[in-house]
Structure 1
């Protein structure tokens, strides 16, 4: 089977299950709630409707980009789960057996998944951007703040957020290719991204020796790529790098994980 045929097969498998729309719905609903809530707090604080608010809420023109960036700053767990499901989900349901019978060359199947991950990851990124920016912009406008939707910087950031979703999907795909057990892969992703990384990045504000390591963590690279970073605002991160540096670092994580999976787990028999 050719790469094109294998890729079409991957799209068919993905969109014939309920996983795609369930994940898209959860992503959109979560980000609408989070972005709308943050925008409301900041908008009300800046309009003077709230008293005794922290200085972090008074961000002026930087507020829209900071809230819009939540699509990736917080929402990056969703493309990771997408990538994991693209691979580990097939190990769980044994759908890789007919796939490998139809396409014995496993590198072709893996490459088809990478292509599929890029497309569906970008699609999920578009949904995330629309949900985050749409809800936050509406709240900013309602509280008398400028949503800055026509800002070139914000428009460029939105494009980079979609790229970040593609790269995070590949990271999840790489993790799923190493850890066959879907539940284990999801737990590893959640623990590392929601517990280990935040602790390390917060600790970097108090332990200077940790900062050089913390800035090269996957989530830090993602924030660098996006150009919006709550850790910088809170003083828990050092000087930011160029956005493309973040893209390269995140891509390296994806390549390394996928390469490890390709030469280990991916070669084993499916039982």
Structure 2
């Protein structure tokens, strides 16, 4: 056990060194913070009385805490593609640049290699959560205050959302690692990540929300589970923001259930990758 722990620690340090030696991790972080800052600022304006009046509509009948959590949850509502993409690149970069051979020569136990990458994925995913919150809270809170709304930063609901956001982004990075390890092709992984997060799942969630039966199933989609884990989300709150949007009545998952769904999906992908892709010969 001591030898295994030592190998895991050494391999984890090696994996961190690989990641930090590349520019991709901080470029992804830069894209994330800008994307989230713009989204959170716009959402804060839209949910304020000023934004509603300029738009020719009545002020949204939302509690200030609800408005604030919607703004801050933009990290997980629209920004999860970044930690997911990072996790996928963490696995596929080894295949694209053919660095997997020296990796497994240095550490023949591929389970240790995968476990080390999982640790890196979780830590870096949480870091992307911090970066995203800098954009959502750092921009959203001042915009809310400037427009006469409460930033609600001292509310327990908001504090809980912030902490669970870090868990959500860490789990999505782990999901990306499992996907990348299973597909191995970097191009295929990128296409799947972008298509699923930007088109497929949002459409599925909107369609599923129209009927009670499908809405009950839709709760287990990764994005819906994430909204449950974090405690807020734009798609899950469409009915509250715009009453004209049809939403079937169904009980959302509890926060810990949402976390278990994400962890379970990540575990399935990682186990599948370990049982198939990682057993193949390395060229």
Q: Deviations over 1:108-165 (max 9, x none)?
A: 1000001111111111111111211110001011111110111111011100000001
Distance 1:145 1:124, change over 3 A: same
| CA RMSD across the alignment | 1.6
Judge conservation of contact 1:45–1:53 (CA < 8 Å) in 2.
Answer: no
Cα distance in 2 between the residues matched to 1:95 and 1:223: 37
Cα distance in 2 between the residues matched to 1:53 and 1:88: 48
Cα distance in 2 between the residues matched to 1:239 and 1:133: 28
Partner of residue 144 from structure 1, selected from 142, 148, 160: 148
Instruction: Find the counterpart in structure 2 of residue 189 from structure 1.
Output: 193
Judge conservation of contact 2:224–2:236 (CA < 8 Å) in 1.
Answer: no
Q: Is 1:17 matched with 2:29?
A: no
SS of 2:148's equivalent in the other structure is coil
Gaps of 5+ in 1: none
Q: CA deviation at 1:64?
A: 0.5
Q: Deviations over 1:78-121 (max 9, x none)?
A: 11001001101111111111111101111010000011111111
SS of 1:234's equivalent in the other structure is helix
Cα distance in 2 between the residues matched to 1:20 and 1:229: 26
Judge conservation of contact 1:43–1:139 (CA < 8 Å) in 2.
Answer: no
Cα distance in 1 between the residues matched to 2:211 and 2:198: 20
Cα distance in 2 between the residues matched to 1:262 and 1:2: 18
Instruction: Find the counterpart in structure 1 of residue 139 from structure 2.
Output: 135
SS of 1:94's equivalent in the other structure is coil
Instruction: Find the counterpart in structure 1 of residue 160 from structure 2.
Output: 156
The number of residues matched between the two structures is 269
Judge conservation of contact 2:209–2:218 (CA < 8 Å) in 1.
Answer: no
Structure 1 residues 94-133: aligned runs within 5 Å:
94-133=98-137
Judge conservation of contact 1:31–1:131 (CA < 8 Å) in 2.
Answer: yes
Gaps of 5+ in 2: 1-5, 240-246
Judge conservation of contact 1:216–1:249 (CA < 8 Å) in 2.
Answer: yes
Partner of residue 5 from structure 1, selected from 10, 16, 21: 10
Structure 1 residues 190-269: aligned runs within 5 Å:
190-235=194-239, 236=247, 238-269=250-281
Q: Is 1:31 matched with 2:36?
A: yes
TM-score (norm 2): 0.90
SS of 1:2's equivalent in the other structure is helix
Cα distance in 2 between the residues matched to 1:133 and 1:252: 29
Instruction: Find the counterpart in structure 1 of residue 45 from structure 2.
Output: 40
Cα distance in 1 between the residues matched to 2:198 and 2:207: 14
Q: Deviations over 1:5-41 (max 9, x none)?
A: 1000000000000011101100101000110111122
Cα distance in 1 between the residues matched to 2:253 and 2:228: 6
TM-score (norm 1): 0.94
Cα distance in 1 between the residues matched to 2:224 and 2:123: 24
